[in-house]
Amino acid sequence: MCGIVGLVAKSLVNQTIFDALTVLQHRGQDAAGMVTCDGNRFFLRKDNGLVNEVFRTRHMKRLLGNVGIGHVRYPTAGSSSAAEAQPFYVNSPYGIALAHNGNLTNAEELVEQIFREDLRHINTTSDSEVLLNVFAHELQRQRKLKPEPDDIFEAVSKVHQRVKGGYAVVAVITGYGVLAFRDPNGIRPLVYGTRSTPEGEECMVASESVALDISGFTRVRDIAPGEAIFIDLEGNVFTRQCAEKTQLTPCLFEFVYLARPDSIIDNINVHQARMRMGIKLAEKVKLMQPDHDIDVIMPIPDTSRTSALEMAKHLNVTFREGFIKNRYIGRTFIMPGQTQRNNSVRRKLNPIELEFKDKVVMLVDDSIVRGTTSKQIVQMARDVGARKVYFASAAPPVRFPNVYGIDMPSPEEFIAHNRSEDEIGEAIGADWIVFQELDDLKESVSAGNTDLIKDYDSSVFDGYYVTGDIDAAYLERLDQKRNDAAKIAPETTDHDHDHEDEAEADLHTEIR
């Protein structure tokens, strides 16, 4: 899971891209980067850290131009060094910078192809660099001194033929404009919008519509699966379907956890989808325990609040905020190691004793992955006097790894591994646990767009991978990269500098 943005404007784009990345920060807190283009010259700034840490005033002053792209990184497998931060850049053909959200499932095969057939060199472990080189090679094969939109779309078509997985992409081509495209299954989200200025029309593409909203862009529509959009320097928009076979199967976990509630993804209002999840949970509680003894329903901040509120409303149970969140602590789901996650939970949440004392409490969370946070929160509730602690998850048990850009851990590290739902409840210390049914979850989301969406990438819940290329051997290789033991490695020194020498992180190059 990462956040991407691309912009063609009539004035400097650095501040608008910065603002967009700030509201996409929830999609990645590991690193940030931005490339702008002024004439035939690229300007790049990227490093580990949050958006407001990576881009200081001195960096913003150097990011010149009316065209650019940006990225916030959330690493899956591989290195988390500053060298892996996006965007990546190649100087041939034309000069191309690219950033992407997702994961290529055939990246290792592509690296071999790129070396032996395309005669290109990959310098990092990032599949984004792989994707960039595949696109650059296919565009170079068009052999045009000045590429037309049709040439660019033809290159994207070739990318779809070679690349597998889930991916949403933004790229800037020096002297020509911004390109964006989405995988044939539409697994990762991508939307575009426009803004009218006295100088003319401006266009932005982004992972979520909230990035458009905060800068005054009007959402036009989502990019379709397999579709590409090219915005030239004058703001003219060209689109084409570039994949032979497409099916919209967006990631279901986007609506459960990843996306902001004020975003619209594939014409679905995320907030409303989460409201419906809460209603479905309430219906299941009524079915399982019509004479339940729940005194109060509390969300585990922040993602579950919408579902918890609707659940309380439909059960006619009091809704209370029982935990105060420290907003200066990152999302524990994203943290790379179990020790960091354990240490962060107590620093992140603190219970309000008054709301728990002598009550039967139903805690509501968006999902349970490792169970680390859930177990500690249940114990917190008991420590401050809860008589009973129930737990509800707005999603079904997570039992399978995600291969399309979300860092789900090794299956053995899931709390649901080889456990029934009741056993999961026992493992986290809850007196009773309620999980959303998968069909109910899909229905909660689909109600927002019944015309276009017939199914989802729900692989983390049911183990079905929509790209059709995932086997046991692939999952075993992925497991070796993602388990917590693999993530315990010596700290790199890429970010342990005072930023005085930024030659590797900043690029000022002229393409002639």
What is the full DSSP assignment across 442-475? HHHHHTT-TTT-S--B-HHHH---TTS---HHHH
The whole-number pLDDT of residue 209 equals 98
Mean pLDDT to the nearest integer, 11-29:
97
The whole-number pLDDT of residue 510 equals 36
The whole-number pLDDT of residue 121 equals 93
pLDDT band at 327 (very low <50, low <70, confident <90, very high): confident
Q: What are phi and psi of 265, to 5 degrees?
A: -125, 125
- Copy the structure tokens of residue 447: 């109600």
Q: At what angle do helices 270-288 and 438-446 cross, to 10 degrees?
A: 140
State pLDDT tens for residues 410-446: 888 999 999 999 999 999 999 999 999 999 999 999 9
The whole-number pLDDT of residue 497 equals 38
CB 384 within 8 A of CB 425: no
The whole-number pLDDT of residue 500 equals 37
pLDDT band at 81 (very low <50, low <70, confident <90, very high): confident
- Copy the structure tokens of residue 85: 């931060």
Position 483 pLDDT exceeds 90: no
pLDDT band at 487 (very low <50, low <70, confident <90, very high): low
Mean pLDDT to the nearest integer, 211-219:
97
Position 112 pLDDT exceeds 90: yes
Percent of the chain with pLDDT over 90: 83
State pLDDT tens for residues 190-208: 999 999 999 999 999 999 9
Residues in the chain: 512
Position 264 pLDDT exceeds 60: yes
The whole-number pLDDT of residue 501 equals 40
Q: What are phi and psi of 403, to 5 degrees?
A: -115, 5
Position 148 pLDDT exceeds 90: yes
Pairing assessment for the beta strands 177-182 and 165-173 based on DSSP bridges: antiparallel
Q: How far apart are CA 68 and CA 81, in angstroms?
A: 23
The rounded mean pLDDT for the chain is 91
Position 344 pLDDT exceeds 70: no
**Of the candidate ranges 21-25, 39-43, 448-452, the one whose mean pLDDT is the lowest:** 448-452
- CA–CA–CA angle 64, 73, 203 (5° rounding): 45
**Of the candidate ranges 71-85, 155-169, 170-184, the one whose mean pLDDT is the lowest:** 71-85
**Of the candidate ranges 4-18, 294-308, 482-496, the one whose mean pLDDT is the lowest:** 482-496
Residue of 509, 328, 349, 481 whose CA lies nearest to 408: 481
Which residues make Cβ contacts (< 8 Å) with residue 340, sequence separation at least 6?
A: none
Percent of the chain with pLDDT over 70: 90
Position 503 pLDDT exceeds 70: no
- What dotted CATH number matches 3-247? 3.60.20.10
Mean pLDDT to the nearest integer, 223-242:
97
Mean pLDDT to the nearest integer, 304-331:
91
Q: Is the peptide bond before 75 cis (omega within 30 degrees of 0)?
A: no
State pLDDT tens for residues 287-311: 999 999 999 999 999 899 999 999 9
- What dotted CATH number matches 265-325+346-486? 3.40.50.2020
- Copy the structure tokens of residue 139: 């565009």
pLDDT band at 75 (very low <50, low <70, confident <90, very high): low
Mean pLDDT to the nearest integer, 26-55:
96
Binding-site residues from annotation for Mg(2+): 303, 365-366
CB 130 within 8 A of CB 75: no
pLDDT band at 449 (very low <50, low <70, confident <90, very high): confident
Which residues make Cβ contacts (< 8 Å) with residue 70, sequence separation at least 6?
A: 4, 5, 6, 17, 18, 20, 21, 32, 33, 34, 35, 87, 99
The whole-number pLDDT of residue 79 equals 55
Q: How far apart are CA 2 and CA 150, in angstroms?
A: 28
Binding-site residues from annotation: 303, 365-366
The whole-number pLDDT of residue 448 equals 74
Mean pLDDT to the nearest integer, 10-30:
97
Instruction: For residue 491, give the DSSP letter.
Output: P
Catalytic sites, residue numbers? 2
Q: Provide the 3-class DSSP secondary structure of residue 56.
A: coil
The whole-number pLDDT of residue 255 equals 97
Position 494 pLDDT exceeds 70: no
Pairing assessment for the beta strands 323-325 and 349-351 based on DSSP bridges: antiparallel
Position 271 pLDDT exceeds 70: yes
Helices and strands (H and E) in the chain: how many: 18, 23
Q: Where are the domains of the chain?
A: 3-247, 265-325+346-486
